[in-house]
Amino acid sequence: MDRERAAALRAAFGLAGQVALVTGAASGLGRASALALGAAGARVALDHLPGEEAAAEAACREIAALGGEAVALAADVSREQEVERLFAGTLERFGDLHILVNNAGLQRGAPFQDMTLAQWQKVIDVNLTGQFLCARAAVRHFLARGPQPAVSSALGKILCISSVHERIPWAFEANYAASKGGVSLLMQSLAQEFAPSRIRVNAIAPGAIRTPINRTAWDSPEALDRLLALIPYGRIGEPDEVAGTVLWLASDLSDYTTGATLFVDGGMALYPGFRGAG
Q: Which residues are catalytic?
A: 176
42 or 126: whose CB is closer to ligand BGC?
126
23 or 152: whose CB is closer to ligand BGC?
23
We find the least distance from the C-beta atom of residue 27 to ligand BGC, in angstroms, to be 13
HEC assignment per residue over 16-68: CCCEEEECCCCCHHHHHHHHHHHHCCCEEEEEECCCCHHHHHHHHHHHHHCCC
We find the least distance from the C-beta atom of residue 165 to ligand BGC, in angstroms, to be 5
We find the least distance from the C-beta atom of residue 161 to ligand BGC, in angstroms, to be 9
What contacts 107, CB < 8 A, 6 or more positions away?
123, 173, 176, 213
| DSSP helix/strand/coil, 119 | helix
Query: DSSP alpha helices (H): ranges in the chain?
Result: 3-13, 28-39, 53-65, 80-94, 117-124, 130-145, 174-194, 221-228, 239-250
Instruction: Tell me, rounded to whole angstroms, the distance of Cα 44 from its chain centroid.
Output: 14
CA dihedral 114, 117, 120, 123 (to 10 degrees): -130
Q: How many residues does the chain have?
A: 278
We find the least distance from the C-beta atom of residue 227 to ligand BGC, in angstroms, to be 7
6 or 123: whose CB is closer to ligand BGC?
123
Kindly list the residues in this chain that would bind ligand BGC in the complex (CB under 6 A): 107, 163-165, 207-208, 213-214, 217
90 neighbors 75 (Cβ within 8 angstroms): no
15 or 204: whose CB is closer to ligand BGC?
204
We find the least distance from the C-beta atom of residue 213 to ligand BGC, in angstroms, to be 5
How far is 3 from 10, CA to CA, in rounded Å? 10
**First vs last C-alpha separation in the chain:** 44
13 or 176: whose CB is closer to ligand BGC?
176
113 or 216: whose CB is closer to ligand BGC?
216
CA dihedral 148, 151, 153, 157 (to 10 degrees): -90
We find the least distance from the C-beta atom of residue 232 to ligand BGC, in angstroms, to be 13
